[in-house]
A and B are shown apart, each in its own frame.
Chain A
């Protein structure tokens, strides 16, 4: 793992500066069943291909942002601030 990741604030940096936050997922509504929370907390999709993920620029501006990354090639297709909407996938 030594690919470059583009922080929406700071630009392209070594992945060592970042903290991985896992797949981007929607948290169940508060009234949802316990099983939904279990599913949310434990069962990841683990996609072999492009997926949206959380990353935090821990060693830089500290921003949490969304990255569209190919898990097979580590190619980062797009990164977005949390409030921005994706153009693709």
Chain B
């Protein structure tokens, strides 16, 4: 037999096969498992069914694990919780648990699975098994799932065999249903999925749900009812039958004795001496400091080390109450079957400070009494005031006690006091399993491998990877990339930009409606920059629109906004009922921007297309073969130099990239990354939507009023922009030059005379100006040439002067060379 060894608060504990962490610890003599959250009271095994919080420990860094539900295995590190609270130290709640290990070091594995069934049965006891078999017999096509939170089905063996063998039934063991949601959606966590430290979150859709969760036993309220050694009869029974443990030496039984007749025999067979059996009414208190030593009753004191609570059984319906109007059938004990007693006697000490009603949050009978006496007489309000029932067990252990206590004080009936609603997730689930697998989709451009070979340092842009800069050569690489574009030629991969085709009789009309410019009159062969506003005149996105044919346009968007723009276009087309086909071509195309004073001679080597300005002016596009690849070339200039954006089918992207670099070797062409591009465009004061603009920016305050063609009869945002143009501006996006070479961070606040007037959106060192430049939002009184402003970053002030014009080539001559 393999030895199972794990660590308990630094000591080694031996476990047997079949042990849970809880049973192994109990066998090893551990009685105090942990300390309560609020007052640090010692807590030990209490229910052994995963229904209470008393055995919650931290296992392998995951706090609040119910140790009675975790199978013991070698190598676990188990720690008790709230020891500092027990010692009287005031520990902030956030510091109660060990810090989570870094994600990369976590050995936990989480998955999500989406499943659909005709019927899902929750609970693998006798009535659950019966319900599953009845469901599949309805028709041969029925697919039924059975969720059981324990390691094995617990109904009659014959039925369990049938269920396991049935081809239409899928059984999920160690699988706790934690919530029932609208649309008959069940959330369940499958522990030990594939490997011991893995969890699987099941999203189960069912036409019908059958609730067969049975009943659970709850506690009685008396002084020190939470002492280790006081436990529910379910726990005692499981100790004996499942784990072969001897729960104690001398026991006293409290409560519904007639229900627990079999337990008396079991205890005696296990060698436990039953000292007495007492009614709840006669209990005064349990006594002991770390463990129970006696039960004091009206008739005398019983010296015992085990108090067995034969508590009332309650149908396990918590999650159904919060589920709303779903198709749920309740069967078996969950429907009240076989539950005979509804009595809940309260002994006199039920209102004591040491009578713990809510084991999770340490709410005592005294706390409940105070709340009720101050006029709070509905249990939902008691829950809100005292925190009773708000924590991990969601009222299982406390709700009945609170309801009966309230009823006794007020004289109202139990029905009038009401019941609380358990809320999912119950039982608790780890954040890890909700988050799921630790991976993120990554999109790579067709030229990705080339960038890698060229020494790219990567940055994330949405799901995309883009070269930030190329570290080879390592020194001053951004400056070298910048200089290549300004002085010779540079090439940047812009495949990540959104590319959308808009085609059909109403294509021009649609673009007229959603963009601020007019496109129905744009000649075929021309390209135009435009912005997209919402109905309030806020800039939502920008891009270029080229007219490819009479009824076909090619639209580019920002990298992360393509899905939004695509849906936006579809939406307006749908609302208007126009005939237009919109296709997102982004993944099918590669695009690269070749720019710089020598870009024409580089490109001309690869194409017969006449690239001269007379034949191919700025803001024109042409179809042509480039290095024998069918390409669309658009003469546009985000970086402020003569340049072409070359769009080819994705398959040819890496080939053409190589060809362009080769053709440019004579002029020492360089690939450039996003960082150099950001400096180049900042010198031209070309905005980046979402960087220089925010969720409220309109074209007028962004200094781009020219984009709003108000003479167009209609477009989205026209009414608002007409009004905004008339109204005085509240703020303006301006350029500024810093005094020194030090560069404060993007987002730094802007001050004038120590008073905040705005913030800087982009700040970079400009090799053109030989100093820091940037753009900032300021109030209109500061938006004039030469106004002295101060950027503040990390308590350092950076003086700067507002600059009205563009930093580089204000006339745009270099674009049109």
Query: Could you list 5 A-B pairs, sorted by A, with CB under 8 Å?
Result: A37-B720, A56-B571, A62-B570, A63-B574, A64-B571
Instruction: Decide if B577 touches A15 in the complex (CB within 8 Å).
Output: no
Taking CB atoms, residues of chain A closer than 8 Å to B722 are 34
CA distance A40 to B716 in the complex (A): 12
Taking CB atoms, residues of chain B closer than 8 Å to A1 are 182
Set B325, B563, B575, B720: member contacting A34, Cβ < 8 A: B720
Question: Which 9 pairs, one residue from A and one from B, show the smallest C-beta to C-beta distance?
Answer: A30-B714, A37-B719, A64-B574, A41-B535, A82-B574, A2-B181, A3-B183, A2-B185, A4-B183
A73 at the interface (CB under 8 A from B): yes
- Taking the closest CB of chain A, its distance from the CB of B199, in whole angstroms, is 20
Taking CB atoms, residues of chain A closer than 8 Å to B182 are 1-3, 74
CA distance A28 to B570 in the complex (A): 19
Q: Which of A28, A41, A56, A73 is packed against the most chain B CB atoms within 10 Å?
A: A41
CA distance A67 to B475 in the complex (A): 59
Instruction: Decide if A15 touches B714 in the complex (CB within 8 Å).
Output: no
A14 at the interface (CB under 8 A from B): yes
Set A14, A30, A37, A58: member contacting B183, Cβ < 8 A: A14
A-B contacts besides A14-B205, A83-B577, 18 pairs, CB < 8 Å: A2-B183, A4-B183, A14-B183, A21-B571, A27-B575, A30-B714, A37-B535, A38-B720, A41-B720, A54-B571, A56-B567, A56-B570, A56-B571, A62-B566, A63-B574, A64-B570, A64-B575, A73-B325
B718 at the interface (CB under 8 A from A): yes
A32 at the interface (CB under 8 A from B): yes
Taking CB atoms, residues of chain A closer than 8 Å to B10 are none
Nearest A-chain residue to B575, judged by Cβ: A82
Taking CB atoms, residues of chain B closer than 8 Å to A36 are 719
A1-40 interface mask toward B, CB cutoff 8 Å, 1 = contact, 0 = none?
Answer: 1111000000000110001010000011010101011101
Q: Which residues of A contact B (CB under 8 A)?
A: 1-4, 14-15, 19, 21, 27-28, 30, 32, 34, 36-38, 40-42, 54, 56, 58, 62-65, 73-74, 82-83
B441 at the interface (CB under 8 A from A): no
Taking CB atoms, residues of chain A closer than 8 Å to B570 are 56, 62, 64
CA distance A1 to B181 in the complex (A): 8
Nearest B-chain residue to A74, judged by Cβ: B182
B536 at the interface (CB under 8 A from A): yes
Taking CB atoms, residues of chain A closer than 8 Å to B720 are 34, 37-38, 41
Instruction: Decide if B205 touches A58 in the complex (CB within 8 Å).
Output: no
Taking CB atoms, residues of chain B closer than 8 Å to A3 are 182-183
Question: What is the total of A-B residue contacts with beta carbons within 8 Å?
Answer: 60
Interface residues of B in 288-332 (CB under 8 A from A): 325
Instruction: Decide if A15 touches B719 in the complex (CB within 8 Å).
Output: no
B193-237 interface mask toward A, CB cutoff 8 Å, 1 = contact, 0 = none?
Answer: 000000000000100000000000000000000000000000000
Instruction: Decide if A58 touches B567 in the complex (CB within 8 Å).
Output: yes
- Taking the closest CB of chain A, its distance from the CB of B744, in whole angstroms, is 36
Taking CB atoms, residues of chain B closer than 8 Å to A54 are 571, 575
B713 at the interface (CB under 8 A from A): yes
Taking CB atoms, residues of chain A closer than 8 Å to B718 are 30
Taking CB atoms, residues of chain A closer than 8 Å to B563 are 58
B166-210 interface mask toward A, CB cutoff 8 Å, 1 = contact, 0 = none?
Answer: 000000000000000111010000000000000000000100000
B384 at the interface (CB under 8 A from A): no
- Taking the closest CB of chain B, its distance from the CB of A23, in whole angstroms, is 12
Nearest B-chain residue to A19, judged by Cβ: B567
Taking CB atoms, residues of chain B closer than 8 Å to A83 are 577
- Taking the closest CB of chain B, its distance from the CB of A87, in whole angstroms, is 19
CA distance A28 to B719 in the complex (A): 10
Instruction: Decide if B567 touches A41 in the complex (CB within 8 Å).
Output: no
CA distance A14 to B184 in the complex (A): 11
Nearest B-chain residue to A65, judged by Cβ: B574
Q: Which of B713, B719, B722 is packed against the most chain A CB atoms within 10 Å?
A: B719
Taking CB atoms, residues of chain B closer than 8 Å to A27 are 575
B707-742 interface mask toward A, CB cutoff 8 Å, 1 = contact, 0 = none?
Answer: 000000110001110110000000000000000000
Taking CB atoms, residues of chain B closer than 8 Å to A42 are 536
Taking CB atoms, residues of chain A closer than 8 Å to B575 are 27, 54, 64, 82
Instruction: Decide if B577 touches A82 in the complex (CB within 8 Å).
Output: yes
Nearest B-chain residue to A54, judged by Cβ: B571
Known A-B contacts A4-B183, A82-B575; the reply to A34 vs B536 at CB < 8 A is no
Taking CB atoms, residues of chain B closer than 8 Å to A38 are 720
Instruction: Decide if B535 touches A40 in the complex (CB within 8 Å).
Output: yes
Nearest A-chain residue to B713, judged by Cβ: A30
Nearest A-chain residue to B573, judged by Cβ: A64
CA distance A14 to B185 in the complex (A): 9
CA distance A28 to B714 in the complex (A): 11
CA distance A1 to B185 in the complex (A): 10
Set A34, A63, A73: member contacting B719, Cβ < 8 A: A34
Taking CB atoms, residues of chain B closer than 8 Å to A62 are 566-567, 570
Taking CB atoms, residues of chain A closer than 8 Å to B713 are 30
Nearest B-chain residue to A40, judged by Cβ: B535
Taking CB atoms, residues of chain A closer than 8 Å to B534 are 41
Taking CB atoms, residues of chain B closer than 8 Å to A37 are 535, 719-720
Nearest A-chain residue to B536, judged by Cβ: A41
Interface residues of B in 565-596 (CB under 8 A from A): 566-567, 570-571, 574-575, 577
Nearest B-chain residue to A42, judged by Cβ: B536
- Taking the closest CB of chain A, its distance from the CB of B94, in whole angstroms, is 30
CA distance A56 to B570 in the complex (A): 9
Instruction: Decide if A34 touches B723 in the complex (CB within 8 Å).
Output: yes
Taking CB atoms, residues of chain A closer than 8 Å to B325 are 73
Taking CB atoms, residues of chain B closer than 8 Å to A58 are 563, 567
- Taking the closest CB of chain B, its distance from the CB of A3, in whole angstroms, is 4
CA distance A56 to B535 in the complex (A): 19
CA distance A35 to B352 in the complex (A): 64
Instruction: Decide if A15 touches B571 in the complex (CB within 8 Å).
Output: no
Nearest A-chain residue to B180, judged by Cβ: A2
Taking CB atoms, residues of chain B closer than 8 Å to A73 are 325
Interface residues of B in 588-626 (CB under 8 A from A): none
CA distance A88 to B684 in the complex (A): 56
